[in-house]
C-alpha cells in the first residue's frame, strides 16, 4: 500500500519538475531516463522502510532519492549540455552580437570567404571546459551510487 503511494508521489514529482524545462526545449528523453531510474528501485526497500516506521516523505528522502542519484546526475549532465550547446534558439532570438552565446560567437569566426580556424579551435577548447567540469563533478555521484547500491 505504501509502495504504490510513494511511486505515485515520485511520478508526480518527476512530471511536475521536468515538464517545465524538458518540454519547453522539445526533448523528452530526460523524462524517460528519470522515470526508468525511479522505477528501478525495488519495492522491498520501501516496504522495509514502512515497517521501520518511516513515513512517505522520509522514505522518499532517505531511501528512494539516494538510489536515484545516477539518473538525476545523468539528467543534469544532459540538460546542461543541451542548454550549453544550444545554437538555434539564441540564433532566432538574439540580434545584437554583444548578446550572443558562445556557440553563436564561435560561428562568427566563420566567414563566407575566409575562416579563422586557429580562433575556432582555440575557442572550441575553451567552450568544452565547463562541460568537462560539470561531468567531473557529477561523475563522483555515479561512483557513490554504485557503491551505495552494491549489495552483496
Note whether 58 and 102 are same-domain residues: no
For residues 76 and 42, membership in a common domain is answered with no
For 71, what's the count of Cα atoms within 13 Å in the CB-facing half-sphere? 19
Q: Each residue of 79-119: pLDDT tens digit? A: 778 778 888 888 888 778 888 888 888 888 888 888 888 88
Of 24, 22, 50, the C-alpha closest to 35 is: 22
- Evaluate whether 83 touches 39 at the Cβ level (below 8 Å): no
Residues 60 and 14 in one domain: yes
pTM score, two decimals?
0.65
Least confident among 50-59, 62-71, 100-109, 125-134: 62-71
Last residue of a domain, one of 46, 67, 88: 67
Average pLDDT over residues 17-45: 66
For residues 110 and 95, membership in a common domain is answered with yes
CA geometry: angle at 78 spanning 139 and 38, to 5°? 75
Check residues 47 and 12 and name the one with the higher pLDDT. 47
Co-location of 107 and 122 in the same domain: yes
Tally of domains within the chain = 2
Domain of 7, in residue numbers = 1-67
- Residue 16 confidence (pLDDT) above 80: no
Amino acid at each position: 500500500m505504501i509502495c504504490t503511494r510513494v511511486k505515485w508521489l515520485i511520478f508526480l514529482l518527476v512530471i511536475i519538475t521536468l515538464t517545465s524545462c524538458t518540454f519547453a526545449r522539445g526533448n523528452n528523453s530526460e523524462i524517460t531516463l528519470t522515470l526508468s531510474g525511479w522505477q528501478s528501485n525495488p519495492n522491498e526497500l520501501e516496504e522495509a522502510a514502512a515497517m521501520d516506521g518511516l513515513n512517505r516523505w522520509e522514505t522518499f528522502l532517505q531511501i528512494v532519492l539516494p538510489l536515484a542519484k545516477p539518473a538525476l546526475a545523468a539528467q543534469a549532465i544532459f540538460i546542461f549540455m543541451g542548454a550549453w550547446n544550444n545554437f538555434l534558439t539564441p540564433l532566432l532570438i538574439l540580434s545584437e552580437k554583444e548578446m550572443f552565446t558562445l556557440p553563436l560567437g564561435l560561428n562568427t569566426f566563420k566567414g563566407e570567404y575566409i575562416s579563422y580556424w586557429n580562433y575556432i579551435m582555440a575557442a572550441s577548447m575553451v567552450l568544452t571546459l565547463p562541460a568537462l567540469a560539470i561531468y567531473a563533478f557529477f561523475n563522483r555521484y555515479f561512483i557513490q551510487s554504485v557503491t551505495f547500491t552494491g549489495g552483496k
